[in-house]
Each structure stands twice: as C-alpha cells, then as structure tokens.
C-alpha cells in the first residue's frame, strides 16, 4: 500500500479512554496511570468537548500547587479541539498535526468520537511521515524535547524504534543508544 493511501482509520486507536468534564484531575490521573496513556478525551455526549494531557496536569495543577481532587478536568482541559475524519488520508493528518503543533487528534465521524490518532500512531503505520512531524517539532520548540537543541521525537533512523528524544547525528535522527554507538565508531 502506498504511503498516501493510508487513512486515519488504518492508524488510529479505536479504544479511547474518555471522562466526563466533572471528573476530578486526581481521578483522571488514576485513569492515565491505569491505562498507561498520556491523554484523556473529555466528553459528556458523543462528541469530544476537550482533551486533557499529562502536561496539562503538571502545568495547570501541580505547578500551581492546586489539589488534584479539588479541580475538574473540565476546568483545565484544552477546548476547541482540532478533529479529523477517519477517512482522511494519513499524510493529511500528519500535516494537520505539524501545522497546529499537536500530537493527538480525536477522530470524529458524523459527530461521534470513533478513535484517537497520535503522532506515534502515524509513525508506526507510515514511518515516511516522520519527516513532517520532526520538521514541525524542530521549528516550533526544539528544546522542549530535551537539553540538546536538536532533540525531537520520532523514529530512530538506525534501529527503527519510536523514541521521544532523537538527536541529529551526521544528518540522521537517532536515539541515545544508537548515538553512542555512532560516536564510538
């Protein structure tokens, strides 16, 4: 199958963990921990109303010393979500993520949440699209991903593993382990 023939449906995760806006941040953190996920879609009906991430919990609750059991996810969620249709081409989704500097896209079909697409999903199904996501990360905030100025998330061009922190060595994006091997040669 050609790269541009993959659809969002091919890569998305169908099982999406959701929570009501009245859920406390503490309870949402328990869900994230239990399911080993980095975000929860916030919805009270069929369509997503917002999204809460681990970063939201840290930036909007922990860093402000707010008690997580006393604030709801509806109060801190990201609103006005950018969503995508499951029939959209995967390269369109990657460009949408890059353009808007986001790593997660709720997948909505006729007003109903049917899945979630993450940058990791895109890379796993179509590693060729890594370049779009990496270029976006480098342009928007290169130091967000680590101490090195060129550290970005993506697929290591040596071992093929998806890593949150890649460094550019001799024009290749590589993980820390492969970087050490390359520098040791």
Output the known binding site. 156, 159, 175, 178
Question: Considering Cα of 88, then 89, then 93, then 98, what sign does the dihedral take?
Answer: negative
Token duo for residue 72: 């709801």
Annotated binding site for Fe cation: 156, 159, 175, 178
85: Cα separation from own chain's centroid: 17
Q: Can you tell me whether residue 53 is helix, strand or coil?
A: strand
Binding residues for Zn(2+), by number, are 156, 159, 175, 178
Distance CA 102, CA 98 (A): 7
Please answer whether residues 3 and 126 qualify as being in contact, where contact means their C-beta atoms are separated by less than 8 angstroms: yes
| Helix ranges restricted to H, the chain | 8-11, 25-35, 54-60, 73-76, 90-100, 119-125, 130-140, 176-184
């Amino acid at each position: 199958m050609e790269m541009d023939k993959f659809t969002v449906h091919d890569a998305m995760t169908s099982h999406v963990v959701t929570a009501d806006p009245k859920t406390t941040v503490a309870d949402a953190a328990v869900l994230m921990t239990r399911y080993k996920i980095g975000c929860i879609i916030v919805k009270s009906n069929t369509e997503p109303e917002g999204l809460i991430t681990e970063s939201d919990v840290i930036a909007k609750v922990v860093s402000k010393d707010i008690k997580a059991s006393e604030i709801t996810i509806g109060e801190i969620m990201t609103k006005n979500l950018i969503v995508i249709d499951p029939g959209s081409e995967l390269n369109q989704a990657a460009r949408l993520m890059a353009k808007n500097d986001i790593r997660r896209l709720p997948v909505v079909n006729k007003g109903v949440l049917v899945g979630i697409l993450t940058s990791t999903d895109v890379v796993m199904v179509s590693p060729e699209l890594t370049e779009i996501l990496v270029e976006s990360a480098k342009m928007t905030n290169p130091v967000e991903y680590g101490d090195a100025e060129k550290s970005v998330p993506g697929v290591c061009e040596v071992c093929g593993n998806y890593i949150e922190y890649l460094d550019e060595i001799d024009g290749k994006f590589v993980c820390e382990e492969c970087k050490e091997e390359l520098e040791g040669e």
